[in-house]
Amino acid sequence: MKEIVKRKCTGSSYEKLLLLNNPAVIEFIGEVVNLCEPKSIFVKTDSQEDTDYIRKRALECKEEFALKIEGHTVHFDGLYDQARDKKATKYLLAKGMELGKNINSVSRRKGLKEIREFLKGSMHHKEMIVCFFGLGPLNSEFFIPCIQITDSFYVAHSESILYRSAYEAFKKLSPRATFFRFIHSAGELENGVSRNIDRRRIYIDLKEDTVYSVNTQYAGNTVGLKKLALRLAIRKASREGWLAEHMFVMGVKKTEEITYFCGAYPSACGKTSTAMLKGETIVGDDIAYLRNIDGEVRAVNVECGIFGIIKDVNADTDPIIWEALTTKGEVIFSNVLISEDGVPFWLGDKRTHPSRGINFSGKWYRGKIDEMGNEIPCAHKNARYTISLRRLKNCDFHLDDPKGVKVGAIIYGGRDSDTSVPVQEAFDWTHGVITMGASLESETTAATLGKEGVRTFNLMSNLDFLSIPIDRYIINHINFGKRLKSPPLIFSVNYFLRDDKGVYLSDIEDKRIWLKWMNERVHRRVDAIKTPTGLIPKYSDLKRLFKEYLNKDYTKDDYRKQFTLRIPENIAKIERIINIYKENISYTPQILFSILKKQRERLISFKNKYGDYIEPLFLERLSK
């Protein structure tokens, strides 16, 4: 393998590999060279020179285009390559391996045969890029070494922003150390984009911790260290006794005190807006690793950048991100509209858009239609931005701390119009895991194709990425908590409760108050009201917090509407969740049914005594 790799390496690339003193790395690269048959190989180290080379080549290859502001570039994916392809994303399962029902998979032998056929010779006349990255802070027990091999300079550029470069860290690895492996080829290109979308495949080999991706450029399918690596990490975490979660990590302030929260929210439930709240700090917006260190939960952001949806980012609601996206510095925009003078525009940016420009469909003008006769918007609804967290003014100083941050609380954020109160605390760790995390739902909106108000089950907001059976995933969470000296508190939030006229009962900024109340509970500075489903705030505490942080008069009528216990709806939710587990999950832990049934019994008891709807001030009197 050494000779094969040496012949293809350009400049000092081969010497860079030899300095790693790791035969397994060269063996892996050699296998990919034999398969993809690249014209040449470029090896990226941690140097600024190598990063600059990748940026320059992305422009030269026309995978990116320079914009008006220094450091800003734009990338366009193909018209039909604008999102994660769930159908084409499959686990390769060896004989005897089971993940449960409804998991998209193919036999390992069949899947490897197909993906290797598609990758064979896919890098002819292309430069192969070998990158060394780390998941989590380097030189820490959270760190997972990774090698990304790709023929896309856009992918390599994106990862150089999103992840910590780890070439030097690889030098310290034992030759026997394992690492995650990612192989990507955009395949044959036409007008700069992947041509053979019908042969797009994203296959995850759990046996070898390897991800294969071909005939696609969209970052969600190609940036291996993001959600694809999360699948590998969940399995690794299950073996080793820690948690890999689809969670933000943020710091909540009270004067000089900062308390760290993790939060799991399905799409359109307020995850990013919570992680980026004004006045707080952000460690990460998407993926976290949680470990038990000396009996307490420590968490890190797997990444050091953001690959974020840009739709509706504007100066009013997202001032920190807006500033970073409109000033000098490194940003990759994707699938937005570019005006004739090189300025990016996107849906919901609250600016007057030009009537023509360049977007993912090529030359664009207002009224342009696609081959189906549908009008093409100026920017895609899934348009993105890629940016370093360090460019944000609210970036937390513990971003790269090898010890991570101590977690005071975990939030599960759902979306429903008629059931859950805006914020409540679980009775204990297991109660929270079962009734809040493992029962998490999100409700479809008018912006979603299909019927509005349909509730989608998404336990821990991690269902799409599970690489272990659901029953094991739930038990792992419960056991993780049992081993802690003092588990973080668990909360649920729901920013989308509405009255009978369809009016939202919480304002956009109210989430700040729910967060501040949770912080008060973590430090036991306030009491709470016990209800059949959890602990809710007292009116007097919320009134004080609203005045202190929003200068807003919070009325008893607001409190009554938001925190009334809605018993029929809560019982209906429990029955929905029980049926989902009975009908779709092969081996559900009995503790889940036990805890949900006890909660239903408490609700029925309250219903028989006090009626269907119980106001919070009455609940407060009952709990005294």
Q: Which residues contact 294 (CB under 8 A, 6 or more apart)?
A: none
SS3 554: coil
Q: Is 621 exposed, middle or buried (0-12, 13-18, 19+ CB in 10 A)?
A: exposed
Q: What is the DSSP letter of 545?
A: H
Helices (H) and strands (E) in the chain, counts: 19, 35
Please confirm, yes or no, whether 269 is among the known catalytic residues. yes
Kindly report the average pLDDT of the chain as a whole number.
94
Same domain, 326 and 459: no
Q: What is the pLDDT of residue 364?
A: 97
- In tens, the pLDDT along 354-367 reads 999 999 999 999 99
Domain boundary among 368, 391, 414: 391
Same domain, 530 and 546: yes
Q: How far is CA 340 from CA 54, 83, 458, in A?
A: 26, 26, 42
Domain boundary among 223, 240, 257: 240
Q: Look at residue 76 and tell me if it is in a domain.
A: no
**pLDDT above 90 (res 450):** no
Number of domains in the chain: 3
Q: Look at residue 276 and tell me if it is in a domain.
A: yes
Structural domain that includes position 172: 2-60+88-240
**Mean pLDDT of the region 279-290:** 97
Work out the number of other CB atoms within 10 angstroms of the CB of residue 543. Answer: 18
Alpha-carbon gap, residue 432 to 436, rounded angstroms: 5
pTM: 0.95
Which residue in the list 9, 36, 269, 378 is annotated as catalytic? 269
Q: What is the DSSP letter of 17?
A: H
Same domain, 198 and 295: no
Same domain, 404 and 498: yes
**Mean pLDDT of the region 118-124:** 96
**pLDDT above 80 (res 444):** no
Length of the chain as a residue count: 624
Same domain, 290 and 330: no
Alpha-carbon gap, residue 582 to 623, rounded angstroms: 34
Same domain, 147 and 101: yes
Which of the two residues, 496 and 587, has the higher pLDDT score? 496
In Å, how far from its chain's centre is CA 540?
36
Q: What is the pLDDT of residue 331?
A: 98
Alpha-carbon gap, residue 38 to 152, rounded angstroms: 12
- At 361, which CATH number? 2.170.8.10
Same domain, 528 and 545: yes
Residues 71-110 as b or e (16 or more Cβ within 10 Å = b): ebbbbbbbbebbebbeebbbbbbeeeeebbeeeebbebee
**pLDDT above 50 (res 446):** no
Q: Are 28 and 130 in contact, with CB atoms under 8 Å apart?
A: no
Alpha-carbon gap, residue 412 to 263, rounded angstroms: 6
Q: What is the pLDDT of residue 451?
A: 58
CA within 13 Å, CB half, 356: 3
Q: Are 530 and 623 in contact, with CB atoms under 8 Å apart?
A: yes
Domain boundary among 340, 363, 391: 391
Q: Look at residue 68 and tell me if it is in a domain.
A: no
Same domain, 490 and 463: yes
Q: Give the containing element (helix H, strand E) for 379.
A: none
Alpha-carbon gap, residue 408 to 523, rounded angstroms: 9
DSSP line for 445-474: -TTSSS-TT-EEE-GGG-GGG--S-HHHHH
**pLDDT above 90 (res 285):** yes
Inter-axis angle of helices 227-240 and 470-482, nearest 10? 60
Q: What is the pLDDT of residue 13?
A: 96
Q: Give the containing element (helix H, strand E) for 260.
A: strand 257-264
Same domain, 409 and 366: no
Alpha-carbon gap, residue 277 to 270, rounded angstroms: 11
Kindly state the tokens that stand for 473. 């995933």
Q: Which residues contact 501 (CB under 8 A, 6 or more apart)?
A: none
- At 41, which CATH number? 3.40.449.10
Q: What is the pLDDT of residue 454?
A: 82
Amino acid at 10: T
Kindly state the tokens that stand for 221. 């399918």
- In tens, the pLDDT along 206-252 reads 999 999 999 999 999 999 999 999 999 999 999 999 999 999 999 99
Q: What is the pLDDT of residue 3?
A: 86
Q: Look at residue 601 and tell me if it is in a domain.
A: yes
Residue with tokens 């909360």, as numbered in its chain: 491
Measured over all CA atoms, what is the biggest interatomic distance in the chain, rounded to whole angstroms? 81
Q: Is 386 exposed, middle or buried (0-12, 13-18, 19+ CB in 10 A)?
A: buried
SS3 348: coil
Alpha-carbon gap, residue 281 to 466, rounded angstroms: 29
Q: Look at residue 72 and tell me if it is in a domain.
A: no
Sort residue 127 into left (φ over 0), alpha (ψ -120 to 50) or beta: beta
Q: What is the DSSP letter of 11?
A: T
**pLDDT above 80 (res 413):** yes
Inter-axis angle of helices 108-119 and 23-36, nearest 10? 70
Q: Look at residue 7 and tell me if it is in a domain.
A: yes
- In tens, the pLDDT along 22-64 reads 999 999 999 999 999 999 999 999 999 999 999 999 999 999 9
Q: What is the pLDDT of residue 445?
A: 56
In Å, how far from its chain's centre is CA 154?
20
Kindly state the tokens that stand for 23. 């035969």
Same domain, 340 and 426: no
Kindly state the tokens that stand for 324. 């970073």
Same domain, 28 and 51: yes
**pLDDT above 90 (res 447):** no
Q: Look at residue 69 and tell me if it is in a domain.
A: no
- At 527, which CATH number? 3.90.228.20
Same domain, 477 and 606: yes
Q: Look at residue 343 and tell me if it is in a domain.
A: yes
